[in-house]
Amino acid sequence: MRIVILGAGKVGASIIDNFIEDESDIVVVDIDASRLATIAAKYDLVTITGHATDLEVLDRADLKSADLLVAATQDDEVNIMACKIAHEVYNVAFKIARIRERRYLEHRERLFSENIFPVDYIIEPTLIMANSLYNLIRYPGTQYFTYFCEQNLAVFSCQAQYGGILVGKVGNFAVQELQKLNISLVALIRNQVVIQVNEYTTINAGDQVVLLAEPENVMLALNYFQKNLAPPKRIMLAGGSRTNTFLAQFLRNRASIKLLESNAQKSAALVNELSNVLVINGDCTDENLLFEERIDSTDIYVAATGADNVNIMSALLAKRMGCKRAIAIVGRTMNKNLIHNAEVDIIYSPQNDLATELRAQGMITSFNRVFREPNANLFQVFEGELDNTLGLDEPKLEQVKLPQGVRILGIYRNDKFMVASPQLTLVEEDKVLGIAYSNEDLQAFARLIAKNVTEV
């Protein structure tokens, strides 16, 4: 696949970072030569210096041969125009645009169509981030959370704790108990290594447990590995960023919310914008301020100031001062790796969620959705649609020869989730949920479910 990316900023760099392994032919265009030099030093790809709507530049990028355009500059209007040019002049099949302006998003159905502005898919990284954080807060105890099957299923992780019902139990027993609840154990991770679950495996406190379940069963699943989980009542947000503004709007009817912002002018504006939110003008790294605002009785603290170092420092401070749970937003992978084992409960990096949303577009993979394990890239969870019955008449799962590094977790059929078992029957158009341990395994499975019967 040939992908042309316009814009080598944070969003563009994140897209490159996540798709360079997919053996795609990537071309990056940016007006800043120094940004391109940084990317070229890291990746084997083509970079072109120039404006995203300059036809000479787009000719040099060979846009007419592109399967996908991602317009990810910092200017909404440039991104929109680039998509229109790609459609009208170069006949690009699929066009994705980064759009931040709220008014554009409010009128997306009227504006973004083939006859007006031909944008096939809109990404708003800030909104993606806010939605992800909302789910981490909504489901206390989760370390990451993502939807599958049009939000009818969820993959999520938690850390096993002493007192959890299945903590200390043998792996096979845990799998059987979860299956009774229609919950699939995706993976058991210990010291950043996936542990095989069998009759010799014990689930230990400190292990990371990854699960697949219907949203209504998420809290039930979490309570099997943790204890005393309760919805947060007091939430503190550090930074008046767009992310926290969206998050405050999502949460304001669910909990008591305080928002700290160091800029007085911005604080005043947020007071008018956010009803039912206490906006405080102050420094989130000020111990006295955190003490005065009762950080020790706060259930969740989210640091999203826009500066990694401030987020890390304030989240550590909040945790040490008694906050039950602290989340720090970290944009740079290097910073995330440095503090992986620190006291902060969640080091959240938005790149993986952005990549998941992009991968959900069929132009990028042959799957409906693919989610990469975000901490050490240990595996990928996928959702694919069964285009054939593998040369058999409604085969049972035990009859299907899978690639070595692929395991089926379950299927979604007629609005119902069924956990995988040897006797589970596969039917054409089933949505198949599974785990793959490498890109090669993932692509091998894609070929398997898309084969014609005569090829089997």
Per-residue pLDDT tens digits of the chain, which is 456 residues long: 889 999 998 888 888 877 776 667 899 999 999 999 999 998 889 999 999 999 999 999 999 999 999 999 999 999 999 999 999 999 999 999 999 888 888 878 888 888 888 899 988 888 999 999 999 999 999 999 999 999 999 999 999 999 999 999 999 999 999 999 999 999 999 999 999 998 899 999 999 999 999 999 999 999 999 998 899 999 999 999 999 999 999 998 889 999 999 999 999 999 999 988 999 999 999 999 999 999 999 999 999 998 999 999 999 999 999 999 999 999 765 555 555 556 889 999 888 788 788 777 655 567 889 998 988 789 999 999 887 666 667 788 998 889 999 999 999 999 999 999 999 999 888 999 999 999 889 988 988 877 532 232
Answer for the pair 380, 442: CB distance below 8 angstroms, yes or no: yes
Residue with tokens 């084969």: 451
Size (the chain), residues? 456
- What lies within 8 Å, CB to CB, of 41 at 6+ separation is none
Count CB-CB contacts under 10 A for residue 198: 10
With helix as H, strand as E and coil as C, how does 96-118 read?
Answer: EEECCCHHHHHCHHHHCCCCCCC
DSSP 8-class letter at 140: T
This prediction has a pTM of: 0.87
Question: What pLDDT score does 450 carry?
Answer: 72
Q: Where does 102-217 have alpha helices with state H?
A: 102-106, 108-111, 125-138, 171-180
Interatomic CA distance for residues 261 and 304, integer angstroms: 10
CATH numbers and ranges of domains, the chain: 2-123 (3.40.50.720), 142-224 (3.30.70.1450), 234-344 (3.40.50.720), 357-449 (3.30.70.1450)
Question: What pLDDT score does 338 carry?
Answer: 57
Question: What pLDDT score does 455 carry?
Answer: 30
Interatomic CA distance for residues 137 and 135, integer angstroms: 5
Number of H helices, E strands in the chain: 16, 22
C-alpha angle 72-75-76 in degrees, rounded to nearest 5: 80
Interatomic CA distance for residues 101 and 303, integer angstroms: 23
- What lies within 8 Å, CB to CB, of 93 at 6+ separation is 67, 68, 363
**Strands, E assignment, 226-319:** 234-238, 256-261, 277-281, 300-303
Tell me which H or E stretch contains 80: helix 76-88
Paired with 328 in beta bridges are 303, 347
Side-chain half-sphere exposure of 350, counting CA atoms within 13 A:
23
Question: What pLDDT score does 400 carry?
Answer: 87
Give me the phi and psi of 27, to 5 degrees please: -120, 130
Interatomic CA distance for residues 241 and 386, integer angstroms: 42
Residue type, 60: R
Interatomic CA distance for residues 440 and 442, integer angstroms: 5
* Token duo for residue 77: 């209007």
- What lies within 8 Å, CB to CB, of 255 at 6+ separation is 231, 232, 233, 234, 235, 299
* Token duo for residue 376: 């050490």
- Kindly give the interhelix angle for 125-138 and 242-251, rounded to the nearest 10 degrees: 40
Whole-number CA gyration radius for the chain: 23
Interatomic CA distance for residues 328 and 169, integer angstroms: 32
Interatomic CA distance for residues 45 and 195, integer angstroms: 36
Instruction: Say if residue 138 is exposed, middle or buried (CB neighbours under 10 Å; 0-12, 13-18, 19+).
Output: middle
Question: Among candidates 36, 93, 84, which has minimal Cα distance to 64?
Answer: 93
In this structure, are strands 46-49 and 25-30 parallel, antiparallel, or unpaired?
A: parallel
